[in-house]
């Protein structure tokens, strides 16, 4: 397919340098505001595009794909997660799907450590009292948190991000434990000084901090359900920078309110941007607006991967980040 005739439709604002390069390479419709497209807008975009560039906020289901135009042959996702796209239907309709893996690894791992520290050291509470002007001076018993050195960290999902979290946490003196669909190679385990737990139940019941770093799939939906959350120690902390659907958020909220879990740090939520007001009211919870990958460098690297995927496709070759069948 000739890239001069390739019609690319972008669903959200992207970094200026990425938009500028995209406009140089393709016939592109860029988004002019920061708001997500409506379902009707997405369907219309798929009706006129050869290539659609969506983000994780754009849910593309089977019904929408059925209305796509005959020229739509590539969905070049801006982001690593692809659970918002019906991959099976896309494959049936001959539409390739690509993503941007590996870009957000360090950024997300940094945010995971930030949340662990924020919750265990009660940083938001200290910030709030300073901003309100209510601080009355230092006290030996005020805002006592816990040190993380020597604590046991259980990582749920030991892919790129999980391993990056392990390396950072090890530098803080934490003991590294993990549960994964497949055990790591012995040399990788040794380098990370990590202990593998085949039983998630057994790992969860012994950890001081649980970090969720696995993708959302049918098998990981509510992997931390009410029964499993009740296995946590009362002084345990849960951090999630992956996908909100992995945790039963209602069960987590109830246990935080009753003191069955010490705290939580969440950058993702089961209801996407709709946050449970009871969860938002908890003083032992740190909530962030999906900032895990929000660095200038990361967003530009995402855009560069999207450009490479589209250009490779336009040149008649397999895109380097094509989502393969085994991931569906």
Which of the four pLDDT bands, split at 50, 70 and 90, describes residue 321? very high
Is 239 within 8 Å of 116 (Cβ atoms)?
Answer: yes
Dist CA 243 CA 260 (whole Å): 22
Asked if domains 7-103+295-327 and 105-287 share a fold, the reply is yes
Least confidently predicted of 94-98, 229-233, 273-277, 304-308: 273-277
pTM over 0.75: yes
Task: Please count the other Cβ atoms lying within 10 Å of the Cβ belonging to residue 235.
Answer: 12
User: For residue 272, what pLDDT is reported?
Assistant: 76
Helix (H, G, I), strand (E, B) or coil at 46: helix
User: What local confidence, expressed as pLDDT, does residue 216 receive?
Assistant: 87
Task: Indicate if the pLDDT at residue 326 is higher than 60.
Answer: no
Percent of the chain clearing pLDDT 90 (strictly above) = 90
235, 261 Cβ separation under 8 angstroms: no
Q: What residue segments make up the domains of the chain, in order of their start? A: 7-103+295-327, 105-287
CATH of domain 105-287: 3.40.50.720
**Residues 6 or more apart whose Cβ sits within 8 Å of residue 118:** 124, 265, 286
Distance CA 72, CA 260 (A): 50
Q: What is the mean pLDDT of the chain?
A: 94
pLDDT digits (tens, 9 = 90+) for 133-171: 999 999 999 999 999 999 999 999 999 999 999 999 999
Distance (Å, rounded) from C-alpha 282 to C-alpha 128?
14
Inter-residue contact 76 to 53 (CB < 8 Å) = yes
Question: Which CATH code is given to the segment(s) 7-103+295-327?
Answer: 3.40.50.720
The arithmetic mean of pLDDT across residues 193-219, rounded, is 96
């Amino acid at each position: 397919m000739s890239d001069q005739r390739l019609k690319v439709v972008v669903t959200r604002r992207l970094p200026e340098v990425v938009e500028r390069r995209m406009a140089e390479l393709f016939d592109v419709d860029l988004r002019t505001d920061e708001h997500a497209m409506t379902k009707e807008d997405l369907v219309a975009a798929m009706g006129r595009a050869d290539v659609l560039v969506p983000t994780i906020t754009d849910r593309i289901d089977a019904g929408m794909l059925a209305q796509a135009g005959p020229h739509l042959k590539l969905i070049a996702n801006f982001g690593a997660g692809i659970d918002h796209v019906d991959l099976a239907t896309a494959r049936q309709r001959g539409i390739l799907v690509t993503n941007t893996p590996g870009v957000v690894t360090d950024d997300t791992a940094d945010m995971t450590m930030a949340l662990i520290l924020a919750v265990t050291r009660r940083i938001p509470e200290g910030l709030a009292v300073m901003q309100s002007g209510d601080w009355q001076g230092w006290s030996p018993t005020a805002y006592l948190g816990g040190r993380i050195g020597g604590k046991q960290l259980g990582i749920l999902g030991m892919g790129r991000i999980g391993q990056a979290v392990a390396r950072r946490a090890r530098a803080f003196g934490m003991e590294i434990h993990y549960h994964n669909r497949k055990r790591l190679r012995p040399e990788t385990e040794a380098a990370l000084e990590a202990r593998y737990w085949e039983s998630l139940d057994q790992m969860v019941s012994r950890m001081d901090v649980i970090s969720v770093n696995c993708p959302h799939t049918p098998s990981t939906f509510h992997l931390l359900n009410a029964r499993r959350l009740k296995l946590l120690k009362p002084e345990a902390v849960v951090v999630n920078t992956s996908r909100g659907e992995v945790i039963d958020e209602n069960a987590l909220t109830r246990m935080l309110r009753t003191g069955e879990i010490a705290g939580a740090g969440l950058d993702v939520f089961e209801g996407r941007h709709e946050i449970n007001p009871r969860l938002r009211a908890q003083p032992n919870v740190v909530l962030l607006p999906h900032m895990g990958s929000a660095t200038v460098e990361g967003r530009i690297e995402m855009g560069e991967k999207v450009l490479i995927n589209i250009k490779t496709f336009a040149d008649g070759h397999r895109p380097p980040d094509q989502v393969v069948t085994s991931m569906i």
